[in-house]
Amino acid sequence: MTTTSFVELPAGALRMPVSRTNDLVLDVADPASPWRRRDLAISGLLLGAGLVGIFACWFTGSGELTYTDQVPWLVNSVLCGVVSVLGLVYWLVRGFRQVNLMQRDVQRWLVPWVTEQHAALRTGDAVPISAGTLVSAPTMTRVHHAHCPMVRGKSGVAAVTEDEIRERGLTQCGACHRG
Ligand SMILES: [Zn+2]
C-alpha cells in the first residue's frame, strides 16, 4: 500500500515577494533557462566574431604565397580562437551565477514554510507519548500510532483508549498500521 502525502504551502509564502535587491534574479527570458538575453547576446557575439575571424584569417592567409607571410594570419586566427573560447566561458559563468541567485531566492521564498514545518515537528516531538500508544484527535476518523507522521504537529492529538476507539468507530490508519 502506498500513501501519498500532500505538502501545503503556508499562505504567507505565496504572498512573499521575490527579492528584488539584485536585478539579475529571475530576470530571464525563459524561466527554464538561466541565461538573460543580454548574456546570450554577448557570448553569442564573442563566439560568432571569433569564428568569423578564424575563417577570415584562413581565407586571407591561404592567399599568401610564402610561409613568412602566412604566419601573421595564423597568429591572428589563434587570437580569434581565444575570443571564441572567451564567449563560451562567459556563457558558462553567467549561467552558473544566475542559477546560484535563483536558488538563493527560492530558499528565501520557502523560509516561512520551512519555519512552520520545523515548528510543527518540534511541537510534535514535545508531546510526551510513548511508542505503542494509539492516538487520535477529535476531528480525525482514524487512529494512529504515536510516531505516525500523519499526526505529527497536528493540534488536538491525544492518546485514546480501546473503548474510545470502539465508541467513536475510529478506523486504523493505513500508513502506521501496516504489517
Ligand atoms: Zn497513522
Q: Which residue has the cell 573560447?
A: 85
CA of 157 to the centre of ligand 1 (A): 12
pLDDT value at residue 179:
57
For the entire predicted model, the pTM comes to 0.49
pLDDT, tens only, 29-87: 666 778 888 889 999 999 999 999 999 999 999 898 898 999 999 999 999 999 999 99
Residue 156 has pLDDT above 70, yes or no: yes
CA of 13 to the centre of ligand 1 (A): 28
CA of 119 to the centre of ligand 1 (A): 20
3-state secondary structure 85-113: HHHHHHHHHHHHHHHHHHHHHHHHHHHHH
Residue 24 has pLDDT above 60, yes or no: no
CB-CB neighbours of 148 under 10 Å: 18
Q: What is the mean pLDDT of the chain?
A: 79
CA of 169 to the centre of ligand 1 (A): 16
pLDDT value at residue 124:
57
User: What residues does 29 pair with on adjacent strands?
Assistant: none
Count, residues in the chain: 179
